[in-house]
Amino acid sequence: MAKKWPKDSFTIGAGAGFAGDRIEPAVQMAQSGEVDAIALECLAERTLVNAIRLREANPDAGYDPRLKRRFRPLLPHVARGCRVITNLGAANPGAAARATSRLARELGLSKLRIAAVTGDDVRDRVDEVEWTQSIEEGQWIGAHVYLGLEPMIAALDEGADVVITGRVADSSLVAAAPVQALALEGDAVAAALTVGHLLECSGQITGGNLTEPGISDLSPEELAGIGYPIADIAPDGAATIRLLDGQSGRLNVAGCTLQLLYEVHDPRAYITPDAVLDFTGVSFEETGPNQVRLSGTRGLARPDRLKVIGFLARRGLIADIEIAYAGTGALARARLAADILRLRLPRELGISDFVIDLVGVDSVLGAGSLPLRCEPPELRVHLSARCEDAEMAQAVEDEIYALTISGPAGGGSVRSERRGRVESITGFLPRDRVSARIEWAHEP
């Protein structure tokens, strides 16, 4: 059983919101001495697919390759009492914990207790999963269930300084340390999970991805050094989200509202493994500069089934290629190039599943793009095609290159990429078909 928390609130920070997120915000939090634990959310759907493939090639790989870069500056602060909870373990939390333990020894911090949470990998149960769509064609690359608070709390109860997971719900990842330390219950857990949901995208609640007039007017200097959010949580679930003193950013009611509803479907029932959250009674109040108080979260009973994300590899690949035109008449030449491709791809390659558009005109929002008001000084013709195999992708790429010689004048600056056709499929498993476990990289 955990010791009683000695303070009247718990301060949790969100030091990263995706795998490639900045390193220094978490270090600043740790250095401040104000933060009791830091959550590093570093696992998106795509990151997990890459990790699964790394593990297939090497049983000791499959965790985030940035693990050392993130932990090296943090572990000395962990030794002084700032715990870290992170999903950097990706497809191999056990190996990630062992790698972190080796790093700790290297830094002279061999006393750190590092736990891995495993059991999210349910690849062996794909046939038991109730998928939300019929699976006709394709090959399973992997399937992972979203674990909740329990195994992370168990690891912290047993004295973990660092908890490394694979797939867990992001809100639970952030909520785990305060829920454990304060032994929260009921709606206070719901509040901590809501804080978790608000913090999980790091800079997106402190002024990032927020460019509307009247809400955010941060300078390049301020955005370049934007602080990531921390939250003070009280035993009754009262929570204040804030920045560290002196950090730049914009933490206000509008930004909190956008993040509260971000990637939420029914706001009356946001489903996490630990509770179904009702956001309709939530209110925010600005209680100081870059400081917002959250209240009114309600939690309903946790769901009987846990969400599963499955990755299905479809046959073939996507070839994504661009060629640029610049100078007088660039638009007309680009349109001519597009017309040539529309003729040649079906006729010469027998391809019909493709998209052609103009980067700088309509490659992002397609038919929903704003009208073109003047001729751009340069633009790129973009072509993406679904191809049967690498040979076909090569043929499609060659069609673009051929335009440099046999197409409109001055085509060049060609770039291309290929993507596997991996689809993410959602499903559900009964809770009793999932068992999370804790592995210690270093015996407590």
Least separation in angstroms between residue 353's CB and other proteins is 8
Using alpha carbons only, give the angle 259, 264, 267 rounded to the nearest 5 degrees.
100
CB 179 within 8 A of CB 189: yes
Residue selected from 300, 332, 343, 355 as contacting other proteins according to rule CB under 8 A: 355
Pairing between β-strand 83-86 and β-strand 162-164 as defined by DSSP bridges: parallel
DSSP labels, 346-403: HHHH---SEEEEEETTTTTTGGGSPPP-S--SEEEEEEEEEESSHHHHHHHHHHHHHH
Binding mask 391-430 for other proteins (x = CB under 8 A): ----------------------------x-xxxxxx----
Our CB check for other proteins shows the closer of 246 and 368 to be: 368
State residue 71 phi and psi, 5-degree precision. Answer: -80, -30
CB 367 within 8 A of CB 296: no
Residue selected from 268, 302, 305, 431 as contacting other proteins according to rule CB under 8 A: 268
**17 neighbors 171 (Cβ within 8 angstroms):** no
DSSP assignment string, 276-296: EEE-TT-EEEEEETTEEEEE-
CB atoms within 10 A of CB 8: 9
Tokens 């109860």 belong to residue: 157
**Footprint of other proteins on residues 12-71 (CB under 8 A)?**
45-46
Q: How many residues bind other proteins (CB under 8 A)?
A: 53
Q: Report which DSSP code applies to 303.
A: P
Residue 262 binds other proteins (CB under 8 A): yes
Does 145 help bind other proteins (rule: CB under 8 A)?
no
Count of C-beta atoms within a 10 Å radius of residue 312: 21
- Nearest approach, Cβ of residue 280 and other proteins (Å): 6
User: Least separation, in Å, of the C-beta of 27 and other proteins?
Assistant: 27
Distance of CA 228 to the CA centre of its chain: 15
Q: By CB under 8 A, tell whether 318 contacts other proteins.
A: yes
Nearer to other proteins, 161 or 278 (CB): 278
- The total number of residues shown for the chain amounts to 444
Nearer to other proteins, 32 or 257 (CB): 257
Q: Does 308 bind other proteins (CB under 8 A)?
A: no
Shortest distance (Å) from residue 229 CB to other proteins: 16
How many angstroms separate the Cα of 366 from the Cα of each of 92, 172, 371? Answer: 39, 37, 11
State which of residues 298, 333, 386, 442 lies at the interface with other proteins (CB under 8 A).
Answer: 386
Contact between 110 and other proteins by CB under 8 A: the answer reads no
Candidate list 1, 57, 367, 405; residue touching other proteins; CB under 8 A: 367
- Beta strands per DSSP E along 119-252: 130-131, 139-145, 162-164, 230-233, 239-242
Segment interacting with other proteins (CB under 8 A) among 77-85, 106-114, 325-333, 348-356: 348-356
Nearer to other proteins, 262 or 401 (CB): 262
- Rounded least distance, CB 262 to other proteins, Å: 5
Is residue 283 a contact point for other proteins (CB under 8 A)? yes
364 is a contact residue toward other proteins (CB under 8 A): yes
Per CB under 8 A, which region of 52-60, 148-156, 384-392, 396-404 contacts other proteins? 384-392
Candidates 361, 363, 397, 429; binder of other proteins (CB under 8 A) is 363
- Beta carbons within 8 Å of 182's beta carbon, 6+ residues apart: 5, 9, 10, 188, 233, 234, 235
Distance CA 194, CA 200 (A): 10
> Any contact of residue 126 with other proteins (CB under 8 A)?
no
The 230-233 sheet, strands edge to edge = 283-288, 291-295, 239-242, 230-233, 10-16, 37-40, 83-86, 162-164, 114-118, 437-440
157 or 362: whose CB is closer to other proteins?
362
Taking CB under 8 A as the rule, which mask of x and - marks residues 185-224 in contact with other proteins?
A: ------------------------xx-x-xx---------
Tell me which residues touch other proteins (CB under 8 A).
45-46, 209-210, 212, 214-215, 254, 257-268, 279-284, 314, 318, 320, 322, 353-355, 357, 359, 363-368, 370, 382, 384-386, 419, 421-426
